[in-house]
Amino acid sequence: MDLLPGHRHGSVELRLIRTRDARVLQHELLNNRAWLQPWEATIPNGAASFDMRVSIRRLLQQYRDGGGYPFVMEYDGEIAGQLNVWGVARGSLCSATIGYWVSERFAGRGITPTAVALATDAAFTEYGLHRMEICIRPENVASLRVVQKLGFRYEGLRRRYIHIDGDWRDHYAFALTREDVPQGVLARWLHGQAPPEAASIPPTDRLSI
Ligand SMILES: CC(C)(COP(=O)(O)OP(=O)(O)OC[C@H]1O[C@@H](n2cnc3c(N)ncnc32)[C@H](O)[C@@H]1OP(=O)(O)O)[C@@H](O)C(=O)NCCC(=O)NCCS
């Protein structure tokens, strides 16, 4: 497999996942059940699988097929979580979606916004993509902060959109296109130029939680 170069800013590194990450990731997933479960994608009528070797092989096959870019996020050389660019559509769309998690002990250090910025910049400048989307459950205040910080634009409420934690869940969709960030997502954020209002939810779409 051709080696995708990693991306780094400060203590945060984004690199392609490897089969030998399975043991550490499996350990983190099992030790962070209560933290991750409310936000975890599930398969309708499917059994939950915690076999990371199988998941990683599947992700790497998708990568080889051009369907995704599966990364781990490292913090000072330690695996902090996963960031997955999935659903890559080429042709007239050139778009993809980002999903992510970090272990609870790594939360609050800005690892995810940094990694999302690195991945989106790479998508726009290296992977030939034009639009990056992030979908978030309305209840997920921490994840909503990630798109707010980076100035992703709110694009709408999708009812019963993704199967999460055992049921179809409503999601808010956020996106950026290449034209939104000529200076890059990371540089725009670091220079304090990410528009703070872009991710605001209009009152008509606010769900009572
Ligand atoms: C959402 C998530 C990825 C954010 O990652 P992160 O690397 O902690 O991101 P940040 O450091 O920017 O923190 C984002 C917000 O999380 C909240 N937060 C910070 N530390 C926290 C902690 N120890 N516990 C809970 N929430 C915390 C804060 O609201 C923070 O916003 P702030 O910086 O304005 O205070 C992470 O909370 C997570 O993995 N959650 C569980 C899985 C999940 O929700 N995945 C996303 C599905 S869309």
SS3 state of residue 70: strand
Q: State the residue for tokens 């550490």.
A: 24
Report, in angstroms and rounded to the nearest whole number, the Rg of the chain calculated over CA atoms.
Answer: 16
**How many other C-beta atoms lie within 10 A of the C-beta of residue 9?**
15
Which ligand 1 atom is at minimum distance from the Cα of 32? 41
Predicted pLDDT at 152: 98
Q: How far is the CA of 112 from the centre of ligand 1 (A)?
A: 8
Nearest CA to ligand 1 atom 42: 101
Predicted pLDDT at 33: 96
Please enumerate in sequence order all residues whose Cβ is within 8 A of that of 94, keeping only pairs 6 or more positions apart, or say none: 128, 129, 130, 131
Q: How far is the CA of 189 from the centre of ligand 1 (A)?
A: 17
Predicted pLDDT at 208: 72
- Closest to 71 (Cα-Cα) out of 4, 135, 126, 147: 4
Q: What Cα–Cα distance (Å) separates residue 151 from each residue in 17, 86, 147?
A: 27, 21, 6
Residue burial 37-49, b: 16+ Cβ < 10 Å; e: rest = eebeebeeeeeee
Q: How far is the CA of 198 from the centre of ligand 1 (A)?
A: 19
β-sheet bridge partners, residue 172 = 136, 157
Predicted pLDDT at 5: 87
Predicted pLDDT at 2: 52
**How many other C-beta atoms lie within 10 A of the C-beta of residue 92?**
7
Q: Which two tokens stand for residue 129?
A: 């993509």
> Taking the model in full, what pTM does it have?
0.98
Query: Pocket of ligand 1, candidates 105, 112, 163: which has the most ligand atoms within 8 Å of its Cβ, to mutate?
Result: 112
Pick among 3.40.720.10, 3.30.365.10, 3.30.200.20, 3.40.630.30: CATH of 8-205: 3.40.630.30
Query: Pocket of ligand 1, candidates 71, 109, 145: which has the most ligand atoms within 8 Å of its Cβ, to mutate?
Result: 145
Q: Which two tokens stand for residue 124?
A: 């726009």
Q: How far is the CA of 95 from the centre of ligand 1 (A)?
A: 25
Q: What gap in Å lies between CA 9 and CA 11, rounded to an integer?
A: 6
The stretches of the chain forming alpha helices (DSSP H) are 22-31, 33-36, 52-64, 111-125, 141-150, 185-190
Regions of the chain where pLDDT drops below 70: 1-2, 209
Q: What gap in Å lies between CA 152 and CA 148, rounded to an integer?
A: 6
Q: How far is the CA of 184 from the centre of ligand 1 (A)?
A: 22
